[in-house]
Amino acid sequence: MKEIIRILSKEIPDSRIALEYSNPLELLIATILSAQCTDIKVNQVTVDLFKKYRSAEEFAEVNLAKLEEEIRPTGFYRNKAKSIQKCCQELVKRFGGEIPKTLEELVTLPGVGRKTANVILGNAFGIPGIAVDTHVHRVSQRIGLTKHGDPVKIEFDLMEIVPKEEWTHFSNLLIWHGRRTCGARKPLCGTCPIRKLCDFGAKMKV
């Protein structure tokens, strides 16, 4: 594990989260919008969105149809708009408009699962968390770090073998490695820096 982290850290020195935000609320909104959407498209939408709405109160009170139109390019905009508004209403009602700093509290919010909660904890608050998105799911299975398909079980498997202080960093490394090298359809095993440490790569003929 230490060798995988060392190699990928050298290969991907810029492995920070790709979503653009300036505070925990913005990261929460951006992460909800990122479902089934590219981070590039989300960033294009939020650059204006975050200028219009600067607090949970404002998102909670905005006209829902208006919010839907403003986030339409991210896809599934009706469901996302409802999740954002309900989430922000709960933030105002239960947390004074502030983002809670525990996973247990975050996952009680509408539209927030463990992945989103860990993204927020790790990247906005510096609290270690393993966020299992589609890339972490795929790459961790291929490397041989887990045999499970359920994201929660994968998260717990990784928590057992990844040093806690590396949880957020490791998640970001796997996400970028999945985007740049270990793609879903055509993994670039021939140029993969961790091929010799990977169950999948070791079996590939390149």
| Residue spans per domain, the chain | 2-13+130-203, 24-124
Point out the catalytic residue in the list 10, 14, 101, 133: 133
Q: How far is CA 164 from CA 50, 116, 126, 159, in A?
A: 32, 18, 12, 7
**For the domain 2-13+130-203, what is the CATH code?**
1.10.1670.10
Tokens of 18: 């790709």
Render pLDDT for 24-51 as a digit per residue (tens, 0 to 9): 999 999 999 999 999 999 999 999 999 9
Question: Which residue is it, tokens 């929460």?
Answer: 28
pLDDT-derived band at 52, boundaries 50, 70, 90:
very high
Question: Which residue is it, tokens 């139109």?
Answer: 69
The CA distance from 146 to 185, in Å, is: 20
Render pLDDT for 10-20 as a digit per residue (tens, 0 to 9): 999 999 999 99
Point out the catalytic residue in the list 115, 157, 164, 203: 115
Is 133 a known active-site residue?
A: yes
* CATH label, 24-124, candidates 3.30.200.20, 3.40.50.12780, 2.40.400.10, 1.10.340.30: 1.10.340.30
pTM of the predicted model as reported, rounded to 2 decimal places = 0.93
